[in-house]
């Protein structure tokens, strides 16, 4: 029996653990604030969200930030729940397999940092200081 037939795709919990490791690896000034962001992993984004975003192929969305960026928050905001970074397992696995040149952990880290950029209001230059993905 070949090694490929005995391997299983990483679970939602395993991908969540990779995402939490990405949060812990952030520079100290961001890591503490990022701990307040919830991580949720689902196989795919819900159909209504894909429709709202005008995305036809559910494999096209690997992650999403849902919340109010810290640059826009006000003390008068009524918290409706935590800010959330959503990761979509099947599209992540599909992109990882298609790329073939990065580990799944590296891809998850990249998506988490990109989604946190929305939370923190980071520019592309800010992202590049933290995520060396494009080097």
Q: Is residue 73 part of a domain?
A: no
pLDDT tens-digit profile of 35-49?
888 999 999 999 999
Q: Is residue 1 part of a domain?
A: no
Domain that holds residue 113: 9-67+83-130
Q: What pLDDT shows up at residue 40?
A: 96
Looking up residue 48, the CATH number of its domain turns out to be 3.30.2010.20
Per-residue pLDDT for 54 more than 60?
yes
Q: Is residue 38 part of a domain?
A: yes
Q: Are 37 and 67 in contact (CB under 8 A)?
A: yes
Picking from 96, 108, 18, 91, the residue whose alpha carbon sits closest to that of residue 57 is 91
CA angle 130, 133, 135 (to 5 degrees): 105
Count the domains in the chain: 1
pTM of the complete model:
0.85
Q: Is residue 14 part of a domain?
A: yes
Q: Is residue 13 part of a domain?
A: yes
Q: What pLDDT shows up at residue 2?
A: 44
Q: What pLDDT shows up at residue 128?
A: 75
Q: Is residue 57 part of a domain?
A: yes
């Amino acid at each position: 029996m070949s090694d490929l037939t005995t391997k299983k795709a990483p679970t939602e919990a395993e991908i969540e653990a990779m995402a939490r490791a990405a949060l812990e690896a952030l520079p100290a000034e961001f890591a503490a604030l990022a701990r307040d962001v919830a991580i949720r992993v689902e196989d795919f984004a819900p159909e209504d969200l894909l429709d709202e975003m005008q995305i036809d192929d559910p494999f096209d969305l690997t992650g999403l930030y849902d919340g109010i960026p810290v640059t826009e928050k006000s003390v008068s905001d009524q918290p409706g729940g935590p800010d959330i970074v959503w990761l979509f397992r099947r599209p992540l696995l599909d992109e990882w397999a298609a790329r073939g040149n990065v580990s799944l952990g590296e891809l998850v880290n990249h998506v988490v940092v990109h989604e946190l950029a929305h939370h923190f209001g980071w520019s592309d230059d800010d992202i590049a200081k933290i995520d060396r993905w494009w080097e």
